[in-house]
Structure formats: C-alpha cells, structure tokens
Chain A
C-alpha cells in the first residue's frame, strides 16, 4: 500500500477526513484574516520599514502555526486514545498493533500538520508581495496593497472551497467569506480613526 493510500485508509477508518478539512478551513481562515488585520494595521499607522512589517507578520504566522500544530495534536491524540480505549473495551481485545492503533499514533500528527500548516502557508502567500518588494522586484502598486488583494483572493477561495463541500453556490460562499474580511477591514479602520 502506498503512503498516500495508507494515509487515506487511516483517515477513513477514524472518520477524520471531515475533521482535517474543517481544521484546514478554520485555521487557514484564521491565518488569512490575521495577516489581513496586521497589514491593514500597518496601512493605517505611521509608515514602517518593510522589514519590520515582514518580521511582525512572520512572528504572527509562526505563532499561528505552532498553536495550530500543538493544540490539534494534543486534543486529537486525547480524542483518538479515548476512541481506541472504547473500541478495545467493546472488542475485548488489544488493538494497539492493528490499523486502529496505528491510526491513533498517526492521525493526530496528520491533523496537527493540516491545522498548523494551513495558516502558515496562507500567511506566506499573503506576505509574498512584501518579500518581492524587499528583493527589489517592482510591483504596480504598494506591496501592502498587493498583499491585501492576495489576502482577499485567498479568503474568497477559502469560501469557494467550503461552498463546494456544502454543495451550495460557490460564488455565494466566496462572497460570504469576503464579506467577513471587509467587515474586519472596516472595523480596523474605524478603531484606528478613534
């Protein structure tokens, strides 16, 4: 069995596909909105060095990644251990060496990776224009505004992703998540003006 089909099998027997997908959306959305919030914060503040902006955003992205990795691993491992114990009681049989035991060891790690990497990868994509500008590559508009556009596009696509799962209109779902982003931006602008 290839690694990919083994992963699919372990996720399937623990019914963890939905959990991984949910974590991807929730923490990916978290990462995108956090980056958007930070960048808007810099836009409404006094001008700052690009390196400062990148460092602050990277700090937040790494913290989100570590938080996602550790929290998902700890909670999922506890859940999987509980489910395995319950199953062992029902089976009156030690299942540590079975696929269920293997799933208890590996599935929390896989879910933790999804939960941790989703906000990190999305944050890195949003920060890409800032790195390009720092490297001297000319952009048509301010790198902060390009980063905001990238963030909004990614937020829209996260909405599309969730809309396709729910089998509802992907446009409506994308617009819904975009609306959340626009409300967030408005609130930051309003709080900055106060």
Chain B
C-alpha cells in the first residue's frame, strides 16, 4: 500500500480566508494532518503561499477540493514524500 506522507504545494489564494483560517480548513480535511503555511508573496487581491501538509495517509484529492472551496488555485506540487508499506492482515 502506498501512502502520501508529505506534500508541499504552491498556491495562489485571495486574502480571505486568512492564512490561519485557510490552514485550519486544510487541517480539518484529515484526522492527523499537520499543516505548515508560509506566505511567499502578497499582491493587491491575492497572496502566494507554500502549504506543507504531513500526515499518515494524505488524501490529495480532498485537499485539492478544500483549496478550491476556499477560493485558492493550486499552481504546483513542489515536494512529495510517499511511502510504500507492506499490508499486514
């Protein structure tokens, strides 16, 4: 079984919701997600952020849906850490 343990995303988002609300909403997608958000640049209406999510098994599609729901636009996946694990019965 292959699990995503860490992803680093480059995102363009509106100023609202703010970075705290944005990272909280992403963290709520999973039960054990650790979110680290860095603002890379601020424009008149938008800001570019780097979002790092760590967890035991990250659901990328749900994270992408949450980003879109919050008005963000995913620009690139800058880093990924994926582990393959032997399934035990």
Report Cα–Cα, A98/B73, bound state, in Å: 10
Report Cα–Cα, A98/B71, bound state, in Å: 5
Task: Find the B residue at minimum CB distance from A15.
Answer: B16
CB under 8 Å from chain B, chain A span 68-107: 86-87, 90-93, 95, 97-100
Report Cα–Cα, A16/B43, bound state, in Å: 22
Q: Of A9, A12, A91, A97, which is within 8 A of B14 by CB?
A: A91
Interface residues on A, range: 10 to 19
Task: Find the B residue at minimum CB distance from A83.
Answer: B45
Q: Which chain A residues border B45 with CB–CB below 8 Å?
A: 86-87, 90-91
Q: Of A12, A86, A90, A93, which is within 8 A of B16 by CB?
A: A12
A67 within 8 A of B: no
> What 1/0 flags go to B66-89 for Cβ under 8 Å of A?
001111010000000000000000
- Given A13-B16, A14-B16, the answer on whether A90 and B69 have CB atoms closer than 8 Å is no
Report Cα–Cα, A97/B67, bound state, in Å: 11
Report Cα–Cα, A15/B21, bound state, in Å: 14
- Given A13-B17, A86-B45, A90-B43, the answer on whether A99 and B73 have CB atoms closer than 8 Å is no
Q: Count of B residues near A, CB < 8 Å?
A: 14
Q: Which chain A residues border B44 with CB–CB below 8 Å?
A: 90
Min CB distance, A19 to chain B, in Å? Answer: 14
B12 within 8 A of A: yes
B56 within 8 A of A: no
B46 within 8 A of A: yes
Task: Find the A residue at minimum CB distance from B14.
Answer: A87
> What 1/0 flags go to B10-44 for Cβ under 8 Å of A?
00101011000100000000000000000000011
Q: Of B12, B46, B70, which is within 8 A of A99 by CB?
A: B70
Q: Which chain A residues border B71 with CB–CB below 8 Å?
A: 13, 87, 91, 95, 98-100
Q: Which chain B residues border A9 with CB–CB below 8 Å?
A: 17, 21
Report Cα–Cα, A87/B71, bound state, in Å: 9
Task: Find the A residue at minimum CB distance from B12.
Answer: A91
Q: Which chain A residues border B73 with CB–CB below 8 Å?
A: 91-93
Report Cα–Cα, A88/B45, bound state, in Å: 10
Nearest 5 Cβ contacts at the A-B interface: A90-B45, A98-B71, A13-B16, A93-B73, A100-B71
Q: List 16 A-B contacts (CB under 8 A).
A: A12-B17, A12-B21, A13-B17, A14-B16, A15-B16, A87-B45, A90-B43, A90-B44, A91-B46, A91-B73, A92-B73, A93-B12, A97-B69, A98-B69, A98-B70, A99-B70
Q: B residues bordering A, Cβ < 8 Å?
A: 12, 14, 16-17, 21, 43-46, 68-71, 73
Q: A residues bordering B, Cβ < 8 Å?
A: 9, 12-15, 86-87, 90-93, 95, 97-100
